[in-house]
């Protein structure tokens, strides 16, 4: 046996590596350790190049671990897609891009997009524009 820093060096043999991983993960007394804990346990005795990546792949392929993994995310809500408009300019989205570098007191752009045709209209304005100002831009320019 070859030792490196007091640990057994495992040669590049898939069968031996898989057996070591199986012994330290699948047995009932080990209890399907997680990636970090399993690395800690195996590193006490064995070493080979790519040990950490090998453990990660082994655990990702473990059916019981995937089946019993705790989900920390909320379940996704029900999808309610928007209705498709019947013609152009029936549904729009409006956004303001800014602040931009000032040029003649103008420092923002109003972006108006038609949801049906995806046509975009850009109009210059200031960041101080109110909702009434946006309405006037839409009425007069679009």
- pTM for this entry: 0.46
Give the ranges where the chain is alpha helix by DSSP (H). 14-23, 35-43, 51-60, 63-68, 131-141
Q: Which residues pair with 47 in a beta bridge?
A: 9
- Predicted pLDDT at 38: 86
Q: Which residues pair with 108 in a beta bridge?
A: 125
The series of mean pLDDT values per 10 residues for the chain, 142 residues long, is 84 89 77 82 89 89 78 85 87 89 90 91 90 88 76
122 in Cβ contact with 98 (< 8 Å): no
- Predicted pLDDT at 1: 77
Domain borders along the chain are 3-68, 92-141
């Amino acid at each position: 046996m070859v030792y490196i820093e007091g640990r057994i060096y495992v040669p590049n043999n898939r069968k031996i590596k898989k057996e070591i991983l199986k012994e330290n993960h699948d047995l009932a007394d080990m209890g399907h350790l997680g990636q970090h804990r399993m690395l800690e346990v195996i590193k006490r005795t064995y070493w080979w190049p790519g040990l950490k990546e090998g453990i990660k792949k082994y655990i990702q392929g473990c059916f019981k671990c995937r089946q019993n993994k705790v989900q920390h995310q909320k379940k996704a809500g029900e999808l309610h897609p928007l209705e498709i408009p019947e013609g152009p300019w029936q549904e729009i989205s409006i956004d303001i891009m800014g602040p931009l570098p000032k040029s003649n007191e103008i420092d923002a752009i109003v972006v108006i997009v038609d949801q049906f045709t995806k046509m975009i209209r850009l109009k210059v304005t200031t960041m101080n524009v109110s909702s009434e100002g946006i309405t006037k831009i839409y009425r007069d320019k679009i």
